[in-house]
Amino acid sequence: MPEPGIPPKSVPLTITPEAAERLRGEADFSRAFLSVRHLLGCGGNGFRISVEENDPDEGHRFVAAGIPVVMDDFAFHRLSGAILEIDPDPAGEGYRLNHPDAVMTTFC
């Protein structure tokens, strides 16, 4: 469910059915959520996607494909239209964030 005051069409992240099914097999989303955060580091900047059980104090909350999601403010505004999908590359991290601004993405 989107945040109060944000219409559902504003939800920036779509999770493909295949990715949602795999995520549900890896975590109990009755108490966990998918976290999407912007990170800065020595290698540049990018986005980190992880499954968390400790609810952060801040962030935009919504549900995508039945998965609760929390995005920090930068990721929420920057990743409009992003799609989380299964990464077909066997050397990949299992998931891929498909969006032009998500050049560097890690899934943990």
Q: Kindly give, in sequence order, each residue whose CB lies less than 8 Å from that of residue 55, ignoring residues fewer than 6 positions away.
A: 33, 70
Tell me which of 88 and 104 has the higher pLDDT: 88
Is residue 95 over pLDDT 80? yes
Q: Tokens representing 24? A: 């549900």
Percent of the chain with pLDDT over 70: 81
Residues 6+ apart with CB under 8 A from 49: 34, 35, 36, 84, 95, 97, 105, 106, 107, 108
Assign 8 a pLDDT band (cuts: 50, 70, 90).
very low
Confidence band of 5 (pLDDT split at 50, 70, 90) = very low
pLDDT above 90: percentage of residues in the chain: 52
**Three-state DSSP class for residue 37:** strand
27 pLDDT higher than 70: yes
**Would you say 1 and 62 are in contact if contact means Cβ atoms under 8 Å apart?**
yes
Domains delineated in the chain: 8-107 (2.60.300.12)
Query: In what helix (H) or strand (E) does residue 46 lie, and over which residues does it extend?
Result: strand 44-52
Residue of 106 and 91 predicted with greater confidence: 91
